[in-house]
């Protein structure tokens, strides 16, 4: 049996994991490695990719910077989250604000140290990234359009670091990135609809607050239609293997999303819409292996 002190310590660890959204970070790490193996460096031996110390340092630098970004975002949103997410907020408050800030600075310092293993340019890259993660949480997220745009860009930046490292500028990669960017933009706008009550109270000038729910739904519909553009090019102009089934499913999901969007009226509806988009992103990450289902096994056994 665990003592009371040990249980309290475990709850604090769980709370910190919740604050940094560890599940999201694990997904990003997996996505970076799958992207490296299947898209950015398909010609390299798999062991060279998986055991590349420079890639590992870039992935870890991304993970620690993102974790720090989640902490500072939680720090600034603590009052709003009490309204929008009362249960999660109570769990997050098991860790003091002082501990959160200390962890934030440690994670940012660690991110820069990890990046220094790769190059000075990597240090500059992650230093700028860390600054904008803070600036977004402190200021930009309170404004319509620029807040949503910045959030979507910041979510894609970790993949851009790997993209630069491998210097693979193939058009198909840019099309994949555009699809991901649009999907994340939709998610950010749905989150604004989901959190409109807290945003109103805390005077956040988000798109739903400034322009209303109807205008937000129009924008989401346009974004959903825009996702079909990269989907079309990926399906009919590039060889994406069995991943085409994911994109066919995405088309159907977008139809369901838009139909449900226009009948949505309360928070639970927007939470379900948010869940659809999150599932789309998660399934998309695992679907990367469908680009070439034989690639991993063939390269692994060839190297053996």
Residues 278 and 292 in one domain: yes
Q: What share of the chain is helix, strand, coil (3-state, %, to 5)?
A: 85, 0, 15
Residue 112: what pLDDT?
Answer: 96
Residue 2 lies in a domain: no
Residue 54: what pLDDT?
Answer: 94
Taking the C-alpha atoms of residue 133 and residue 187, their distance in angstroms, rounded to an integer, is: 18
Write out the H or E segment, with its range, that includes residue 140: none
Examine the fold and report which residue of 136, 168, 200 is the final residue of a domain before the chain moves on. 168
Residue 90 lies in a domain: yes
Residue 155 lies in a domain: yes
Residues 150 and 217 in one domain: no
Examine the fold and report which residue of 150, 168, 186 is the final residue of a domain before the chain moves on. 168
Residue 5 lies in a domain: no
**How does residue 66 score in pLDDT terms, banded at 50, 70 and 90?**
very high
Residues 15 and 153 in one domain: yes
Name the token pair of 22. Answer: 């560890």
Residues 143 and 218 in one domain: no
Assess contact for 288 and 34: CB atoms under 8 A.
Answer: yes
Structural domain that includes position 149: 10-168
**Higher pLDDT pick, 253 / 4:** 253
Residue 121: what pLDDT?
Answer: 93
Residues 150 and 289 in one domain: no
Residues 302 and 179 in one domain: yes
Residues 73 and 149 in one domain: yes
Total domains in the fold of the chain? 2
Residue 53: what pLDDT?
Answer: 93
Of 9-18, 116-125, 189-198, the one with minimum mean pLDDT is 9-18
Residues 141 and 32 in one domain: yes
CA dihedral sign, ordered 111, 27, 54, 157: negative
Residue 4 lies in a domain: no
Residue 299: what pLDDT?
Answer: 53
CATH number of the domain where residue 41 is located:
1.10.357.140
**How does residue 41 score in pLDDT terms, banded at 50, 70 and 90?**
confident
Residues 41 and 190 in one domain: no
Residues 164 and 185 in one domain: no
Residue 91: what pLDDT?
Answer: 61
Examine the fold and report which residue of 168, 203, 224 is the final residue of a domain before the chain moves on. 168
Q: What is the pTM of this model?
A: 0.88
Residue 217 lies in a domain: yes
* Average pLDDT score over the chain: 86
Residue 201: what pLDDT?
Answer: 77
Ordered DSSP codes for 252-295? HHHHHHHHHHHH--SHHHHHHHHHHHHHHHHHHHHHGGGG-TTH
Residues 176 and 275 in one domain: yes
Q: Cα 243 to chain center, whole Å? A: 20
Residue 1 lies in a domain: no
Residue 3 lies in a domain: no
Residue 249: what pLDDT?
Answer: 95
Residues 104 and 186 in one domain: no
Residue whose tokens read 């988009």: 277
Residue whose tokens read 């600075």: 105
Taking the C-alpha atoms of residue 158 and residue 153, their distance in angstroms, rounded to an integer, is: 10
Residue 239: what pLDDT?
Answer: 86
């Amino acid at each position: 049996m665990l003592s009371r002190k040990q249980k309290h310590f475990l709850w604090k660890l769980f709370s910190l994991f919740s604050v940094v959204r560890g599940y999201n970070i694990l997904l990003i790490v997996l996505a970076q490695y799958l992207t490296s193996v299947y898209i950015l460096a398909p010609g390299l031996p798999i062991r060279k990719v998986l055991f590349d110390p420079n890639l590992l340092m870039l992935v870890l630098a991304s993970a620690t910077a993102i974790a720090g970004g989640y902490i500072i975002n939680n720090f600034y949103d603590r009052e709003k989250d009490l309204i929008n997410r009362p249960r999660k907020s109570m769990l997050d408050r098991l860790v003091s604000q002082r501990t959160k800030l200390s962890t934030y600075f440690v994670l940012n310092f660690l991110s820069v140290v990890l990046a220094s293993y790769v190059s000075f340019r990597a240090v500059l890259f992650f230093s700028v990234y860390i600054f904008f993660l803070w600036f977004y949480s402190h200021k930009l997220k309170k404004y319509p359009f620029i807040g949503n745009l910045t959030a979507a860009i910041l979510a894609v930046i970790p993949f851009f670091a790997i993209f630069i490292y491998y210097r693979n500028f193939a058009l198909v990669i840019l099309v994949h990135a555009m699809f991901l960017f649009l999907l994340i933009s939709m998610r950010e706008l749905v989150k604004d609809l989901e959190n409109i009550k807290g945003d109103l109270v805390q005077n956040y000038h988000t798109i739903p607050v400034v322009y209303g729910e109807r205008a937000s739904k129009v924008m989401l519909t346009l974004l959903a239609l825009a996702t079909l553009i990269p989907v079309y090019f990926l399906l009919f102009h590039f060889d994406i293997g069995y991943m085409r089934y994911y994109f066919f499913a995405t088309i159907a999901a977008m139809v369901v999303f838009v139909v449900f969007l226009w009948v949505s009226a309360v928070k639970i509806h927007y939470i379900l819409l948010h869940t659809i988009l999150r599932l789309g992103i998660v399934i998309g990450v695992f679907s990367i292996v469908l680009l070439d289902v034989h690639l991993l096994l063939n390269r692994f056994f060839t190297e053996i």
